[in-house]
Amino acid sequence: MINPWTISQLSVLTAGDFHDLSDWNELVDMAPVSDVYYRPGYARANEAAGHGKAIALVLASNHVRVLVPLLLRPLSDLPFAQDEPGFDAVTPYGYGGLLPLSEIDPLAETNVDALLDTLRQWCRDSGVVSCHIRLHPLLEQDQWLGASRFQNQTASLCFRALTTGIDLTRWDTSGQRIAGMSDSLRGKLNRARRRLHILVSESGTPMAEALRLFRQIYEYRMSQLNAGPFYYFPKGYYTCLTEGTKLAVALAWLDDELVGGGLYLADRQFAHYHLGGTNENGFKFHSSTLLTNAGAQWARERGCRVLHLGGGSDGLWRYKKSYGGPLYRFYTLDVIADQSRYRNLLDRRAIATALPPPRQGFFPQYRA
């Protein structure tokens, strides 16, 4: 068994190494609060999708230990810097950030500075120019780090968006539904129940077949939205999720027609809506509401207290808020480890006239 107190100031675990994989999972198991986003299986899924090489840093300062899952992305994949050596690093897509292995109380300023110094030094030694860490909204990691301390140019806490979730400790037992739903949403759920039926992978449908069907409806929806390549995932992505996380696939059917599907991930306390898709009949008969209710019930039965729905814009955000759950604040921790190389990449991006103008607020800005 691994002892987190014997870890040196910095350790690096690789998702592709069997022994590292075991140690990585064990550290997550031993953490005061664990979550699926910290698991090597989730990081490996992102690697299988081509988002970077999956690693985890274990940083230490005094009596504070944190695990940081990251994806290393070659700078040479930038269209304007194909000769550039080295990497930048980013949290696997979702809400992970820093996993406290020892304490969950807010950190002293000296500990924050020491952890950041260790992270920067590792980045410089490894040729990593910048590090974009998505913090966990449910763990209020901006408060844990101390948001007011970040005023310099090489590390900043940035508020990105509000997210919301479903409080699974509140449940309408008589109606077998989420408590706190708006009147409109309850009406949609009732109409969906009259026309649709749900199958969940753990209740009879083999996982491989459930995932094949899910990909079918999900990719149909992505094609309707003209989504970019980032939102399409190879078979290996789903395989890693099944091997390294607690995963449920919920499928909505109108008689014999598949009209909607949703993926849900769970750990000890938190579950997360991950991916979903519907077709025209799915919209017509409100399959998303029925699927979310099924996902919430699945998470609740596994002892989770929150189903995190994430964020969104405009209509999607209004829909998620209509479940009546708590709101959370999503921050990122953005670290520039090598300022001169970072500025050089910005300059090269600026003269790449074939690319569209950079998006404001994106980090790292040379990837905007």
Q: Within a domain: residue 142?
A: yes
Residue 45's domain comprises 4-162+330-367
Euclidean distance between CA atoms 260 and 252, whole angstroms: 5
* Average confidence (pLDDT) per 10 residues, the chain, 368 residues: 54 94 95 95 97 96 90 97 97 93 80 90 97 95 79 83 96 95 96 97 83 97 95 96 94 98 97 98 98 97 97 91 96 96 96 90 95
Euclidean distance between CA atoms 56 and 166, whole angstroms: 29
> Which three-class secondary structure state does DSSP give residue 41?
helix
CB atoms within 10 A of CB 343: 12
* Tokens standing for residue 21: 């994989």
Q: Do residues 36 and 108 share a domain?
A: yes
**pLDDT at site 6:** 44
Half-sphere exposure of residue 294, counting CA atoms within 13 Å on the CB side?
27
Q: Do residues 10 and 155 share a domain?
A: yes
Euclidean distance between CA atoms 286 and 195, whole angstroms: 10
Q: Within a domain: residue 349?
A: yes
Euclidean distance between CA atoms 251 and 363, whole angstroms: 36
CATH number at residue 101: 3.40.630
Euclidean distance between CA atoms 312 and 309, whole angstroms: 9
Strand ranges, E, within 110-196: 128-134, 155-167, 171-172, 177-178
Q: Within a domain: residue 118?
A: yes
**pLDDT at site 7:** 46
Residue 109 sits at φ, ψ, to 5 deg, of -60, -40
- Total residues belonging to the chain: 368
Q: Do residues 147 and 181 share a domain?
A: no
**pLDDT at site 198:** 96
Q: Do residues 286 and 353 share a domain?
A: no
Question: What is the value of pTM for the model shown?
Answer: 0.93
Q: Do residues 114 and 151 share a domain?
A: yes
Contact yes or no for 109/64 (Cβ under 8 A): no
**pLDDT at site 5:** 40
CB atoms within 10 A of CB 144: 20
**pLDDT at site 204:** 66
Q: How many domains does the chain have?
A: 2
User: Which residues 6+ apart lie within 8 Å of 329 measured at CB?
Assistant: 137, 140, 142, 159, 162, 163
Q: Within a domain: residue 312?
A: no
Q: Within a domain: residue 231?
A: yes
Q: Do residues 133 and 209 share a domain?
A: no
**pLDDT at site 271:** 98
Handedness of CA 276, 279, 282, 284 (dihedral sign): positive
Q: Do residues 21 and 102 share a domain?
A: yes
**pLDDT at site 4:** 44
Long-range contacts of 146-155 (CB under 8 A, 24+ apart): 146/106, 146/107, 146/109, 146/112, 147/331, 149/109, 149/112, 153/336, 153/339, 154/120, 154/335, 154/336, 154/337, 154/339, 155/116, 155/120, 155/333, 155/334, 155/335, 155/336
**pLDDT at site 90:** 98
Q: Within a domain: residue 139?
A: yes
Euclidean distance between CA atoms 217 and 238, whole angstroms: 14
CATH number at residue 277: 3.40.630.30
Euclidean distance between CA atoms 119 and 132, whole angstroms: 12
Euclidean distance between CA atoms 355 and 297, whole angstroms: 45
**pLDDT at site 313:** 86
Half-sphere exposure of residue 23, counting CA atoms within 13 Å on the CB side?
20
Taking CA atoms, 116 is separated from 57, 120, 274, in Å, by 12, 6, 30
